[in-house]
Amino acid sequence: MSNTVIKVENLSKQYRLGQIGTGSLAHDVNRWWHKIRGNEDPYLKVGEANDRSSKGNSDYVWSLRDINFEIKQGEAVGIIGRNGAGKSTLLKILSRTTSPTAGKIGIKGRVASLLEVGTGFHPELTGRENIFLNGAILGMTKAEIKKKFDEIVDFAGVERYVDTPVKRYSSGMYVRLAFGVAAHLEPEILIVDEVLAVGDTEFQKKALGKMNQVSKGEGRTVLFVSHNMAAIKTLCTHGIVLKQGVSVFNGSQYDAVNYYQSSDSTNSFIHAPDIASAPGNDNIKILRLEAAPQEGSELTIFSGLEFQLVFFNAGVGKNLDITFEVQNQDNVIVFHSGGHISKQYDSKKGIYHLTCKLPKRFLNAGTYSLSIIFGENQRFVLYSASDIISFEVLHETSGSNSSRLPGLTFPEIEIQSDFSNE
């Protein structure tokens, strides 16, 4: 266990909601009064899990609650979670911009945190001056920055503008310069928060490459928060999933992404007991929706797939059509396709049963989400529901291939070969 570089024990962070106004002085006095008598802080007792969507009873919430994990040297750990899950709070505590309410973190080595690019950039200063200022803010000494200066300018590609105030920079140049400084830090532990969501594609690739080099090539430890699941999968070696301030999963990056996406998505089927409570609108109500195998009991690459849909239609005498859209985990749309339900302006008010069949060996193994759009005359949207259900296509062992193969689809390919001996 000697190469553990970050050890987090029972880490908790409590926040007070609402305006820090008239109440806080009274609470401060109350706290102080308890402290004097040797009692514990009365406000540590209260506090609820951090669930944004429901209105809580308490003014205090736990943004993080009893988090425990260890990170070893050279690991690249992705931290995943919905907005408000506590990711940023965790990074803030690790980078010491705020302190925990309870618990302890032990860290070995120098930490540099990149919660934002260009922290402390001053618009009036030139690129050169800002490199030095920003580098020093991030913890480099003047000598270190001097050594790296040319590399940074080169990485950012701003050689011509280095003596121009950064307020004259294009936003892309600004970001590249800022990331350039950060990327050339040499900390043992690098903490990165979603900064890659900036810049053009080329720059994003460059930034991801640099991070990859930092973690894999140079053996540094990287903590990375992102909503970009593809980046998490390629960059990280581990994943931690946070949900409402609690760590719910800790394992390999693939499993973490899978866990997050399956727990994050909606139901795997819809079974509405009656029309009134069914999802939909005045035009369409969805009573049942399910993704089922055509053969056998399990949905696999080879079982074929059908969407079984039961819906209530209110509009009479219309040209009704439907479109299915299937998205994979990386939010890539695999297909967006559909067809007519009624062609002759003859839709009836009532319940329709519909099956949409997809051939076997079409979708590769993976988790997908389905969106459906009901339309009229292929022009007007009657009802659309995105990510209404999710389903998983399993991999079926065929021959020697026991693991999932890459690719969106898994088509049967007809191969013809001729052989001639010269």
Partner 1 sequence: MSTLYKELERESGMAETGNEKEHWDMVIQPKTSMLDLQLKEVWRYRDLIMLFVKRDFVAQVKQTILGPVWHVIQPILTTLMFWVLFGRIAGIDTGVPGPMFYMSGIALWNYFSTCLTSTAGTFVTNAPIFGKVYFPRLILPISVVISNLIKLGIQLGLLLVMMAYYGITGKFVFHFNTSLLLVPIVIFILAGLSLGLGIIISSLTTKYRDFTLLLGFAVQLGMYISPIPYPLSKLAEGSQLRLLLDINPITPLAEAFRYALFGQGTFTVGTLLYSLAFMMVILFFGIIMFNKVEKSFMDTV
* Distance separating alpha carbons of residues 54 and 125, to the nearest angstrom: 46
CA Rg, the chain, in Å? Answer: 27
Residue 158 CB, nearest distance to partner 1 (Å)? 19
Q: 134 in helix, strand or coil?
A: helix
CA distances (Å), origin 81, targets 78, 170, 257, 295, 394:
10, 32, 10, 36, 25
Which segment (116-124, 270-278, 368-376, 403-411) binds partner 1 by CB under 8 A? Answer: 116-124
User: What is the token pair recorded at 370?
Assistant: 């389905």
Strand ranges (DSSP E) for 363-408? 366-376, 380-393
**Residues in CB range of 254: below 8 A, 6 or more apart:** 233, 239
| Extended beta strands in 165-229, E state | 189-193, 221-225
CB 166 within 8 A of CB 127: yes
Tokens of 219: 């053996």
Host H or E run for residue 254? helix 253-264
Site residues for partner 1, 264-323, by CB under 8 A, read: none
Q: Taking the complex as a whole, how short is the minimal distance between the CB of residue 211 and partner 1, in angstroms?
A: 18
Residue 119 engages partner 1 in binding (rule: CB under 8 A): yes
**Residue length, the chain?**
422
7 makes contact with partner 1 (CB under 8 A): yes
Binding region for partner 1 (CB under 8 A) out of 13-21, 257-265, 280-288, 389-397: 13-21
Rule CB under 8 A: say whether 34 interacts with partner 1: no
Considering only the stretches 100-108, 284-292, 320-328, 343-351, report the one whose residues sit in contact with partner 1 under the rule CB under 8 A: 100-108
Q: Going residue by residue from 43 to 72, which x/- string records binding to partner 1, judged by CB under 8 A?
A: -xx---------------------------
Structure tokens that stand for 335 in this block: 């297909």
Q: Look-up: residue for tokens 């065929």?
A: 398
Structure tokens at 216: 């894999």
Give 105 or 208: the residue with its C-beta nearer to partner 1.
Answer: 105
* Of 120, 209, 339, 411, the one binding partner 1 by CB under 8 A: 120
- Interaction between residue 96 and partner 1 (CB under 8 A): yes
Give the count of residues interacting with partner 1 (CB under 8 A): 54
Report in angstroms how near the CB of residue 256 gets to partner 1 at its nearest.
24
Residue 246 within binding range of partner 1, rule CB under 8 A: no
Which of residues 30, 68, 97, 377 is near partner 1 by CB under 8 A? Answer: 97
What's the CA gap between 352 and 338, in Å, rounded?
16
How many angstroms separate the CA atoms of 356 and 329, rounded? 22
Residue type, 20: I
Rounded CA-CA distance 179/211 in Å is: 11
Task: Give the per-residue contact string, 124-163, with partner 1 (x = CB under 8 A; - = no).
Answer: xx---x--xx--xxxx-xx---------------------
Contact segment (CB under 8 A) with partner 1 among 20-28, 309-317, 364-372, 402-410 equals 20-28
User: Nearer to partner 1 by C-beta: 44 or 314?
Assistant: 44
Distance CA(241)–CA(87), nearest Å, equals 9
Q: Is 113 in the site for partner 1 (CB under 8 A)?
A: yes
When binding is defined by CB under 8 A, the residue of 30, 68, 98, 252 that contacts partner 1 is: 98
Asked if 33 is part of the footprint of partner 1 (rule: CB under 8 A), the reply reads no
When asked if residue 37 is in the footprint of partner 1 (CB under 8 A), the reply is no
40 touching partner 1, by CB under 8 A: yes
Calpha distance 411→359 (Å, rounded): 10
Q: Which is nearer to partner 1, 115 or 388 (CB)?
A: 115
Nearer of residues 122 and 404 to partner 1, judged by Cβ? 122
29: Cβ contacts below 8 Å, ≥ 6 apart: none
Pick between residue 109 and residue 296 the one whose CB is nearest to partner 1: 109
Q: Which is nearer to partner 1, 121 or 259 (CB)?
A: 121
Q: What residues contact residue 269 under an 8 Å CB cut-off, 6+ apart? A: 288, 289, 290, 291, 389
Q: Which residues make up the interface to partner 1 (CB under 8 A)?
A: 1-2, 4, 7, 9-10, 12, 15-16, 20, 24-25, 40-41, 44-45, 92-111, 113, 115-116, 119-120, 122, 124-125, 129, 132-133, 136-139, 141-142, 165
